[in-house]
Amino acid sequence: MKTLFFTCMLVPWLMAASARTFDHNSQLIPGSLAGSQLNGYFSDYLKSKRARRALPPADEPDDNPITAEADAADLPTCLLCVCLTGSVYCEEVSPDMTSIPTLPKETAYLYARFNKIRKIKNKDFAQIVTLKRIDLTGNLISEIEDGAFSKLTLLEELSLAENQLVKLPALPAKLTSFNANYNKLKTKGVKANAFKKLTKLVNLYLSDNMLEAVPYIPESVRSLHLQNNNITEVNVDTFCRSNDTYYLRPSLNEVRLDGNPVVLSKYPDNFTCMKVLPVGKYR
């Protein structure tokens, strides 16, 4: 009986001492929890741990991320370029753009300057008959298949400046402006009738090439740039007509032949049909 009484008295004392000890120790550790709060903390912790185990695993990292060395042809055009209604801007694209991108069918204006396009194929524009302007300045184009522009009946402006062309393809008949400055064109690479059917051509820019002669110039041309070539002579039919002394070319108001070997003063009768003399060497 005494033993039972002693046990009953001892248990409450031990519990009180334990509580005092715990409370005392909890004050020594900043942020520690009191006994009643600690029970709640462990309960919440266990729940949280179980919840975390139930979460699905995180997505594995992609083993094949897109790198700067990836081919632009593998990516959608409007991800690489800026696509607005009727216009596509693909300038200095990264990763490198080495071919004409697939264009939305309603594209009217394409600006793909300063890339690394090397070749234009017949299929590149075959389905984009709405094109009115193409600017491919500053690429590495050395070859254009002869029918590459044949379907572009609405094309008015075409720039192939600053490329590596050695010959010209057939050009659309409705062109009003054509720029092939800074290429490697020689006279043998420009067909005799290359511009003959371009009856609406206003601006023709062929400077900084290797042309040995002035090509056929349509009547409609107003501005002609042929500076910095290898042109050595200008014959009577280059700008005028030997069989028509009354023939005039009033629309041709700018002709640049400076930077060529030809001495223009040797041909005084070959510019009589023009209202302005060409810019170039006269002595």
Per-domain residue ranges for the chain?
A: 87-164, 165-172+182-190+200-282
Residue 198 has pLDDT above 80, yes or no: yes
Residue 25 has pLDDT above 70, yes or no: no
pTM as predicted: 0.74
**For 111, phi and psi rounded to 5 degrees?**
-120, 105
Mean pLDDT of all residues in 239-254: 93
Residue 37 has pLDDT above 50, yes or no: no
Mean pLDDT of all residues in 187-216: 96
35-54 helix and 2-26 helix, angle to the nearest 10 degrees: 70
Mean pLDDT of all residues in 212-225: 96
More confident residue, 125 or 50: 125
CATH architecture observed for domain 87-164: Alpha-Beta Horseshoe (3.80)
Which of 9-18, 79-88, 256-265 shows the lowest per-residue confidence on average (mean pLDDT)? Answer: 9-18
Percent residues over pLDDT 90 in the chain? 69
Mean pLDDT of all residues in 91-119: 95
Residue 158 has pLDDT above 70, yes or no: yes
Distances (CA, A) of 50 to 35, 37, 85: 23, 20, 53
Q: Spell out where 15-84 has E strands.
A: 82-84
pLDDT of residue 185: 98
| Residue 73 banded pLDDT, cuts 50, 70, 90 | low
H/E segment holding residue 12: helix 2-26
CB 215 within 8 A of CB 193: no
